Structure 1
Amino acid sequence: MESFRHTIEVRWSDCDANQHVRHSAYADFCTHARIEWLRSHGFGFEQFQAHAFGPVIFKEWTEYLKEVKMSERLTIVVAISGLSEDSSRFRIRHDILKEDGRLAARHEVAGAWLDLRARKLMPPPAALATIFAALEHTSDFEQIDSKPAA
Structure 2
Amino acid sequence: MTFHVTIQVRCDDIDVNGHVRGPAYLAYADHARWACTQAAGVDPAALTARRLGPVNLETTVRFHRELLPHGEVDVSCVFHWGTGKTSRVTQEFRTPDSTLVAEVASLSGLLDLDRRRLLPDPGAYWRELAARPGLLGLAPKTA
* TM-score bin, normalised by smaller chain: 0.7 to 0.9
1:42 has 2:45 as partner: no
Q: Which residue of 2 aligns with 1:18?
A: 17
- Unaligned segments of structure 2, at least 5 residues: 138-143
Matched to 1:117, the amino acid is D
Q: Measured at CA, do residues 125 and 60 of structure 1 come closer, stay the same or move farther in structure 2, by a change above 3 Å?
A: closer
Q: For 1:55 and 1:111, locate their aligned partners in 2 and report how far apart those are by CA, in whole Å.
A: 7
Q: Measured at CA, do residues 119 and 136 of structure 1 come closer, stay the same or move farther in structure 2, by a change above 3 Å?
A: closer
Q: For 2:109 and 2:2, locate their aligned partners in 1 and report how far apart those are by CA, in whole Å.
A: 21
Consecutive aligned runs of 4 or more in structure 1 exceeding 2 Å deviation: 123-127, 129-137
Q: CA deviation at 1:136?
A: 7.4
Q: For 1:53 and 1:127, locate their aligned partners in 2 and report how far apart those are by CA, in whole Å.
A: 9
Q: Which residue of 2 aligns with 1:84?
A: 82
Matched to 2:103, the amino acid is R
Matched to 1:99, the amino acid is P
Q: CA deviation at 1:135?
A: 4.0
Q: Which residue of 2 aligns with 1:115?
A: 112
Q: Measured at CA, do residues 136 and 127 of structure 1 come closer, stay the same or move farther in structure 2, by a change above 3 Å?
A: closer
Q: Which has the higher strand share?
A: 1
SS at match of 1:35: helix
Q: Which residue of 1 aligns with 2:50?
A: 51
Q: Measured at CA, do residues 99 and 29 of structure 1 come closer, stay the same or move farther in structure 2, by a change above 3 Å?
A: same
Identity rate, percent = 26
Q: For 2:20 and 2:4, locate their aligned partners in 1 and report how far apart those are by CA, in whole Å.
A: 20
1:96 has 2:96 as partner: no
Q: CA RMSD in A?
A: 2.1
Q: Measured at CA, do residues 119 and 34 of structure 1 come closer, stay the same or move farther in structure 2, by a change above 3 Å?
A: same
Q: Per-residue CA shift, 1:67-95, capped at 9, x if unaligned? A: 01111111011112x32236x31110110
How does the TM-score come out when normalised to structure 1?
0.80
Identify which of 111, 126, 129 aligns with 1:128. Answer: 126
Q: For 1:136 and 1:51, locate their aligned partners in 2 and report how far apart those are by CA, in whole Å.
A: 19
